[in-house]
Structure 1
């Protein structure tokens, strides 16, 4: 470490998922000394995939060369199907025409004007971490932060083994099970939503007429979504109403995988059943709600991403909203602490309050919209309700350019630069 790095303002980032290394890269580029601590091992294979959308891509595009390294698949088509028995049919389809002009469209514009990029978490997270490391960021794996304490001029994290580390301030990017959040606001009860998700990877269905497609399948008390994450690889997730299941992301055993292949969903048409029948990896997890926070910080400790605003996955905005958080947190730190020196608690208060004011209203609305999408649109009970849901989907995409379908999608994907310059 150089003398300049030793004198730079140290920031501890808890968590090295999607948000932590991106925040670390930006802070490093602005003159801070970020140190990232992650509780799991470096090569852990948790989770399945995510969809990078326009708002998240705009933030990642600020890191030189990163977009060109993304190991995902650009999705340029959306399709909607009914799998309700006796009513199996296509409900709607939309192709992002501008995303197909790859020869003349810059990569950033291609991604922003497409549906997005499907990408495996196991491919994406190491790339983000390596990008931060190349910029000079320290990342320490298998260091679980269990508590955060603070004084007038610093904040201290305590690890599971009893050791500690100290920095000027701490950012909790430690996800839905955030110990940073618990340290600030106490342990909260997570309430089961009544929904589970079961997801996996499968070869892309041979029966599909489109590649690069995000497909939604609407059944009775079940919904399935699938998109490509590799040249011949699809990620998919089934949402259902079931008895309570633990909120884990661990792979299920072979017996459950075989059981699913005997389930009625394995007989769904339009390629959905084929995905289930050919699945080679699956995870199952319950979906839970947590109380909405009215503030995201105390003193020298602030939350970001799922630690601040955990959301159900029905809009695919979890990672993208975390990247918006990163952008605005860095922007307000530049505004209130342009020298990147050791900030006073009052300086941090001003920065964190503005960050909250920008982000809480937007994330709260999207969390509610995601919950409503799962409860009222995707997973409904009874034939009459299912058919009404199907007609709503059909109507939304009958005239995509003028109807509510594309407008609703665009609303979630806007940001994060409205009225602001790029950092």
Structure 2
């Protein structure tokens, strides 16, 4: 008998991981991806304990990750007249020692390419430059329409197509993404902080927050967040004149190595930070959303990709629980139970983290020297041994 076919919209972060885990369980996943085979958009992401646990269930993947494990966290103030070390912590290494995984920085294009390579190597069908633009369904099947005019049919469809999800629009209508009031300017810089063990740095200033972490043994990725006018989310590199203006601008004079990161960046990109209103449901019939298509978030907790992986893990677990034989087609009633239980497990947790990420951005980027100093003092207290930052990180990365 043939396996149950599943159409996955999107071959970015969640799509290929979902496909690989479904393949393990006997399903026939087919991926449609609007982009090209070798992506170059975006800079990096931090794989955290909760996401790494899911990735470790794919044989051989963890060993091939293109990046660097993090050993420590350091937090600095770059506020004029208040330049100092606020926090130094071995939290990432402690996580790895206790749980087997900690925090791992990867370059986004290389990571996405690796996931696609592994999916293809496992016999998963991927159609690049073919975008799902519409979805229709009956009690027996779901059908997608592609930008090429072609259609395809499967037992069910999973929308993993990101912030600008066409599958979400097909289910719930068009809505505007919400600009958070913050932008990020980021880049990749070689030979930064080589005198330090692999470290995640946070630099807090007046209307500035910078995060930096290694994505190879001699390369750091960094992102500078500010409160300013809206900038569209393109994830593409700025033109050379704009990049040079950043390299030679005021950020290049920031202390504690931040200026070096900016001055020597290989590629600089700038983008606005967006999220969307919470949905009351993530599914209709035989179609369900996961990852950024369901619960897009600003990046300030580093949980966007990791929550997508949690989605994948729970969705596959529930499919196996309610429909253990992938050689038979799941009924509409079975899928309704799976998707409803999936939402019950995931919606509250992801909504809490989306709100937490927005609050973290508001806390990080404050204006005025006195406000910035007060925030710095609060950070020192929160990161003291046993403080709220420690407890919050533990709860976020190691949920009950």
Q: TM-score, normalised by structure 2?
A: 0.97
- Using the TM superposition, give the Cα deviation of residue 96 of structure 1 relative to its aligned residue in structure 2, in angstroms: 3.9
Change beyond 3 A, Cα 1:96–1:163: same
SS of the aligned residue for 2:300 comes to helix
Give the equivalent residue in structure 1 for 2:361: 374
Distance 1:264 1:410, change over 3 A: same
**Residue of structure 1 aligned with 2:288, choices 280, 302, 317:** 302
Superimposed CA distance per residue, residues 107-127 of structure 1 (whole angstroms, 9 cap, x where no aligned partner): x954x2x3x000011211121
Pairing partner for 1:212 from 188, 193, 198: 198
Aligned residue in 2 for 1:18: 13
Secondary structure of 2:144's aligned partner: strand
Distance apart, 1:264 and its partner CA: 2.0
The one-character-per-residue Cα deviations of 1:189-243 (angstroms, maximum 9, x if unpaired) are: 222221101111002325x642310000001111100000011100000111111
Alignment of 1:18-417 (within 5 A): 18-96=13-91, 98=93, 109-110=99-100, 112=101, 114=102, 116-206=103-193, 209-340=195-326, 341-375=328-362, 377-399=363-385, 402-415=386-399
1:410 deviation in Å?
1.5
Mapped to 1, the partners of 2:180 and 2:63 lie a distance apart of: 38
Task: String of CA shifts for 1:9-30, please: whole Å, max 9, x gaps.
Answer: 1100000011101100111111
Task: Give the Cα–Cα distance (whole angstroms) in 2 for the partners of residues 280 and 296 of structure 1.
Answer: 39
- Assess if the C-alpha contact under 8 Å between 1:244 and 1:286 holds in 2: yes
Q: What's the offset of the Cα at 1:99? A: 5.4
**Structure 2 contact 20–119 (Cα < 8 Å) conserved:** yes
Q: Which runs of 5+ in 1 are unaligned?
A: 419-423
* Structure-2 separation of matches of 1:200 and 1:386: 24
Aligned CA-pair RMSD? 1.6
In structure 2, the CA distance between the partners of 1:17 and 1:406, relative to structure 1 (3 Å rule), is same
Q: Distance in 2 between matches of 1:381 and 1:98?
A: 33
1:421 — aligned with what?
A: none
Q: CA deviation at 1:132?
A: 1.6
The residue matched to 1:174 in structure 2 has which SS?
A: coil
Output one character per residue of 1:365-417: Cα deviation in whole Å (capped at 9) or x when no partner.
00000000001x11001112111100011112232xx11122111122124xx
Instruction: Check conservation: 2:73, 2:92, Cα contact below 8 A.
Output: no
User: 2: distance between equivalents of 1:42 and 1:160?
Assistant: 17
- 5+ residue gaps in structure 2? none
Q: Find the residue that maps to 1:176 and give its secondary structure.
A: coil
